[in-house]
């Protein structure tokens, strides 16, 4: 089945004229990102938009939601008054399956434990015209790449790794659920016109090096916030040499540098992948407008003139990288990694090696890893670390089983997990003798924050390519360099691993018996969506209250978060995923992972009403019960990581009125705005230091809240002194209306009520 073929034909039919018109407006040749963005404007433009400054309304082609975020997104959508989604949309059941013993038993357990949620998602999808991918069908991003992504398209998805579809030349952007509601309701989707970072790839990879190493290198160069507010566009001969799935890996992990999305130009590798996944018609259509699916030639010849920043990488010189621990941008080349392990006293013994996930579960990835597994068999080597394999989709799993790779992994003790996120997002019942013991794991995933995979602060998680992860699994030591070191086999012989080999696409084609797709009802008006009143998993939403029309006074400091505060710190995943459809229950995890500046502890803050220390959520609830608002203070890149809007909805639900930080990650800032929160930044970053534990806080200037005009925060200290601090914001007029109305959804409801 080819999804969206009529939509693609229409888009491609209109794209040349729209791009030509945009080129005249801009007055210069266009990058690929600009072509796609201007071709997806909600209304015909009358001027060029300034990157990094102008808010722009777009009309994405489709929406994708994973099951954990879809619950809240669809609970919001069902209140907005539409009978059906306005654009093609899908739900993918991938986040709620816990990895424990193996694929078959874990999937069966998930279907039982999560039945209420799966039934809700299936029925609400059926009612509103949404395609539903059942548990076991695969990880959202892999399924999208195999079925929906197409060159030159634009989509949004309620997951930060939605940019994976950039591997097929699509502008694919991670958003919160409220943004998805806008698009599904047929409204424009707003985004600040992104800046453009060009990454020129020359040469060609060989040997142990893979596409994963490109993004690991880029993460090291740009850091976790270096791509914020920008689309990263890869180009050059090196880019065209990469497989489509390799491109997807790079775009997927671009989320770790804060990029709006990442993108590759249409080429023969993409055409090959489209054909291999049953979309020959799409490849033919793309070939027909090929020049419009690539940057203009002038951009290639003089990239510094057309991108805001250009970095260059010679793939001939690239070596494998290992990034981490605790942050995905701590990049170390394999030649220096053993020394780094020893110098930093990271645990040398590797306990678990995990390959797969949405980032690295392609046929190419699995085949290269399997070639190393086969070497281990042939050379009488045994894996010295636990080894797991997570297929990205049922289509990939079925094909790699058919082609014998799963048997190969089984022979070296590999455990195949369900086609789901599993350990990548904390859904892992890890077996460990002492959870407090410092230990090391390595994955081919994308994210490695503390506690991310197994909930253990003691775990040092590293990220590398599937090939390197597999080699480490065999060696059992992080000081092993597979490019030059020997291993002692079962016979006492010293042997070396040869370079991995593999193929981009299955020689005998992809196969699958049941992909796991459920098409929606043609008319869903009679479909009943049931949410039990006493459910602990699902809760119907009540509108948030509108702004009271005055400045905010007498607010209590809830927490002053120190250092890295990701969405994992604000709203943990793992066991909390089961409450993603129940706002009140999941709010009990709010900020429990954030470090309190004043005592260096997590989930321990001073209650201004009692003077005692206690959990963050309970303290917030105490303030809310006393009709007192509160404020959260944060550090740099606050809200880094996942797109989860729960990290914005929970503070809103528990009475937090403002989040004031040194800087925000893009998606989280937008999510806060959507929920009617104040997302503010210190005009002087050093003013963060003026916030004291017993402060009572006022926020002034709200009665004249306008774009570009700073607000003032008054810190009333316990000793009677005070500090006035200037706060900047990025609100435009519609976003200010969201704040006044109590949230963007309230504005949507009012519009549909008319």
Instruction: Tell me which residues are annotated as active site.
Output: 94-95, 159, 447, 642, 644
Cβ atoms of 555 and 657 within 8 Å: the answer is yes
CA distance 126 to 84: 10
CA distance 242 to 96: 32
Q: What is the DSSP letter of 84?
A: S
Closest alpha carbon to 138 in 396, 366, 354, 362? 396
DSSP line for 675-720 = TT-EEEEESSGGGGGG--TT-EEEEE-GGG--TT--EEEEEE-TTS
CA distance 10 to 17: 12
CA distance 613 to 604: 6
Cβ atoms of 172 and 62 within 8 Å: the answer is no
CA separation (Å) from 265 to 152, 247, 314, 694?
9, 10, 18, 54
Tokens of 494: 């010293």
Residue with tokens 């998930």: 110
CA 291 to chain centre: 30
CA distance 738 to 27: 35
Run of H or E including 463: strand 459-463
Tokens of 264: 């590759």
Which 3 state secondary structure label does DSSP give 415? strand
CA distance 731 to 563: 25
CA distance 673 to 677: 5
Residues 6+ apart with CB under 8 A from 498: 375
Tokens of 289: 């407008």
Run of H or E including 461: strand 459-463
How crowded is residue 173: how many other Cβ atoms within 10 Å of its Cβ?
Answer: 27
DSSP line for 30-45 = --HHHHHHHHTBSS--
Residue 404, class by beta-carbon neighbours within 10 Å (0-12 exposed, 13-18 middle, 19+ buried)?
exposed
Closest alpha carbon to 120 in 71, 83, 190? 71
Residues 6+ apart with CB under 8 A from 464: 212, 216, 320, 321, 322, 323, 442, 443, 444, 472
Residues 6+ apart with CB under 8 A from 34: 22, 26, 196
Tokens of 127: 């009612």
Closest alpha carbon to 421 in 149, 645, 142? 142
Cβ atoms of 234 and 264 within 8 Å: the answer is yes
Which 3 state secondary structure label does DSSP give 229? coil
Tokens of 347: 């645990």
């Amino acid at each position: 089945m080819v999804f969206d073929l009529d939509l693609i034909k229409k888009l491609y039919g209109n794209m040349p004229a729209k791009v030509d018109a945009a080129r005249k407006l801009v007055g210069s040749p266009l990058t690929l990102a600009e072509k796609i963005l201007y071709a997806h404007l909600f209304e015909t433009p009358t001027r060029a938009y300034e990157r990094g400054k102008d808010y722009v309304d777009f009309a994405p082609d489709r929406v994708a939601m994973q099951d954990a975020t879809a619950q809240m997104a669809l609970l919001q959508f069902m209140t907005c008054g539409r009978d059906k989604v306005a654009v093609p949309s899908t739900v993918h059941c991938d986040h709620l399956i816990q990895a424990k013993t193996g694929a078959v038993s874990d999937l069966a357990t998930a279907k039982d434990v999560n039945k209420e949620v799966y039934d809700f998602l299936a029925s609400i999808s059926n009612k509103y015209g949404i395609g539903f991918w059942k548990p076991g069908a695969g990880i959202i991003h892999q399924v999208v790449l195999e079925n929906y992504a197409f060159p030159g398209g634009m989509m949004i998805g309620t997951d930060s790794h939605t940019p994976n579809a950039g591997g097929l030349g699509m502008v694919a952007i991670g958003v919160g659920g409220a943004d998805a509601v806008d698009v599904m309701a047929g409204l424009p989707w707003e985004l600040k016109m992104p800046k453009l970072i060009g990454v020129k790839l020359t040469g060609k990879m060989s040997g142990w090096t893979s596409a994963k190493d490109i993004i690991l290198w880029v993460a090291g160069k740009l850091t976790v916030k270096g791509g914020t507010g920008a689309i990263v566009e890869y180009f050059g001969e090196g880019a065209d040499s990469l497989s489509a799935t390799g491109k997807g890996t790079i775009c997927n992990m671009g989320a770790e540098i804060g990029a709006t999305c990442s993108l590759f130009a249409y080429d023969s590798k993409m055409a090959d992948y489209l054909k291999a996944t049953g979309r020959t018609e799409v490849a033919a259509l793309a070939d027909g407008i090929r020049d419009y699916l690539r940057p203009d030639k002038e951009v290639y010849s003089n990239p510094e003139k057309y991108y805001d920043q250009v970095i260059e990488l010679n793939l001939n010189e690239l070596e494998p990288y290992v990034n981490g621990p605790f942050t995905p941008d701590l990049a170390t080349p394999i030649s220096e990694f053993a020394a780094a392990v020893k110098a930093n006293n990271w645990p040398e013994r590797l306990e678990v090696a995990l390959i797969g996930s949405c980032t690295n579960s392609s046929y190419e990835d699995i085949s290269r890893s399997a070639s190393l597994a086969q070497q281990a068999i042939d050379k009488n080597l045994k894996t010295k670390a636990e080894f797991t394999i997570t297929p990205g989709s049922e289509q990939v799993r079925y094909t790699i089983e058919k082609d014998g790779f799963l048997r190969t992994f089984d022979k070296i003790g590999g455990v195949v997990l369900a086609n789901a996120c599993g350990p990548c997002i904390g859904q892992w019942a890890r077996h460990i003798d002492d959870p407090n013991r410092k230990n090391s794991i390595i994955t081919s995933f994308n994210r490695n924050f503390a506690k991310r995979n197994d909930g253990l602060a003691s775990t040092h998680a590293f990220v590398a390519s599937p090939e390197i992860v597999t080699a480490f699994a065999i060696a059992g030591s992080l000081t092993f360099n597979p490019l030059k070191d020997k291993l002692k086999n079962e016979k006492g012989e010293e042997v070396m691993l040869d370079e991995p080999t593999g193929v981009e696409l299955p020689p005998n084609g992809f196969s699958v018996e049941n992909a796991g797709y459920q098409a929606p009802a043609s008319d869903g008006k009679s479909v009943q969506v049931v949410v039990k009143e006493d459910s602990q998993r699902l809760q119907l939403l009540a509108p948030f209250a509108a702004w009271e029309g005055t400045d905010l006074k007498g607010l209590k400091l809830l927490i002053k978060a120190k250092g890295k505060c990701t969405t994992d710190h604000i709203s943990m995943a793992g066991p909390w995923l089961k409450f993603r459809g129940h706002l009140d229950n999941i709010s009990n995890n709010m900020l429990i992972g954030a470090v309190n500046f004043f005592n260096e502890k997590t989930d321990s803050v001073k209650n201004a009403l009692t003077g005692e220390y206690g959990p963050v959520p309970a303290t917030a609830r105490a303030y809310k019960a006393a009709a007192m608002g509160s404020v959260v203070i944060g550090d740099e890149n606050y809200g880094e990581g996942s797109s989860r809007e729960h990290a914005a909805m929970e503070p809103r639900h528990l009475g937090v009125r403002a989040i004031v930080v040194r800087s925000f990650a893009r998606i989280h800032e937008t999510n806060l705005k959507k929920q009617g929160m104040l997302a503010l930044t210190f005009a002087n970053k050093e003013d963060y230091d003026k916030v004291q534990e017993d402060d009572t806080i006022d926020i002034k200037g709200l009665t004249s809240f306008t774009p570009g005009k700073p607000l003032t925060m008054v810190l009333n200290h316990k000793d009677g002194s005070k500090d006035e601090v200037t706060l900047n914001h990025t609100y435009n007029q519609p976003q200010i209306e969201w704040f006044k109305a109590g949230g963007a959804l309230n504005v949507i409801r009012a519009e549909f009520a008319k």
